[in-house]
Amino acid sequence: MRIFTTSDIHGNTEIVRILIDEIIKKEQIDALIIAGDTAPKNFTSSHTFSEIKLEQRKGVDKICKLLGNTKIPVFMLIGNDDHISDEDWDKILKKHNIMNLNMTSHPLGDLKIVGFQYVLPTPWNTNNELPEKELGQRLKSIEKKVNNKSIIVTHAPPLKVQDKVLRGIHVGSSSIYNLVKEKQPLFHVFGHIHESFGQNRIGNTFCCNVSSLWQYGILRGYVIDTNTKSVKKIILG
């Protein structure tokens, strides 16, 4: 099975067009995973928070409609810049037959896709932020679903694995790292830290930061092949 994974689209429909026309159609993709931050982000200080949330709901609905028409399974995780209530998120995804990964698992063939949306605190006071201790406690509720026949999708990276920001500081989660190290899923997919796109390993687990460069209209991600247990880097735009 060939699964395309990306994140941090931030409402850029040009990236979605590239994803549909250049990746899904030409790379023989069987399923799609988006690891958070799907909603628009390019707002000004004149926008109220209520206006931002309304426009984000409209933006996610538009993108989900486009992706829902691809006729392949689509799995989506909420991100910290997606300021959408859980209730509205559920409604939009259900409307377009997209699988919600927030703290849930879904079968895909003989595999299981498991999602976890929480991130460590940022300087910007965004959605779904938790201190490390509390994040680790929330993570325990999905840890039994993660094994060597699963793909775990988090928005935040694991500590010291594709998690370095421009200042050279590692900002990943030690709790997520420990879970992946112990459970050894086939693949770990995440985004959030745009500066650290790329792949690495924790033991036998392929770890891929799949964040796109939304502000430049550049789609980035990986095709993960569950049969060959390999990954292929994609950068288009």
Average pLDDT over residues 76-100: 97
Average pLDDT over residues 147-176: 97
Tell me what pLDDT residue 69 has.
94
Q: How far is the C-alpha of 230 from the C-alpha of 233, rounded, in Å?
A: 10
Tell me what pLDDT residue 42 has.
86
How many other CB atoms sit within 10 Å of the CB of residue 89? 21
Q: How far is the C-alpha of 42 from the C-alpha of 231, rounded, in Å?
A: 31
pTM given for the model: 0.97
Residues of the chain above pLDDT 70, percent: 100
Tell me what pLDDT residue 44 has.
87
Whether residue 168 has pLDDT greater than 90: yes
Query: What confidence tens digit (pLDDT) does each residue in 189-224 have?
Result: 999 999 999 999 999 999 999 999 999 999 999 999
Query: What confidence tens digit (pLDDT) does each residue in 94-143 have?
Result: 999 999 999 999 999 999 999 999 999 999 999 999 999 999 999 999 99
Structural domain count, the chain: 1
Domain that includes residue 115, residue range: 2-236
Tell me what pLDDT residue 72 has.
97
Average pLDDT over residues 139-150: 97
User: Helix axis angle, 49-68 relative to 86-95, nearest 10°?
Assistant: 30
Tell me what pLDDT residue 45 has.
87
Q: How far is the C-alpha of 67 from the C-alpha of 159, rounded, in Å?
A: 31
Q: What is the CATH number of the domain that holds 193?
A: 3.60.21.10
Tell me what pLDDT residue 232 has.
97
Query: What confidence tens digit (pLDDT) does each residue in 15-36 have?
Result: 999 999 999 989 999 999 999 9
Q: What is the 3-state secondary structure (H, E, C) of the chain?
A: CEEEEEECCCCCHHHHHHHHHHHHCCCCCCEEEECCCCCCCCCCCCCCHHHHHHHHHHHHHHHHHHHHCCCCCEEECCCCCCCCCHHHHHHHHHHCCCEECCCCEEEECCEEEEEECCECCCCCCCCCECCHHHHHHHHCCCHHHCCCCEEEEECCCECCCCCECCCCCECCEHHHHHHHHHHCCCEEEECCCHHHCEEEEECCEEEEECECEHHHCEEEEEEEECCCCEEEEEEEC
Average pLDDT over residues 7-22: 97
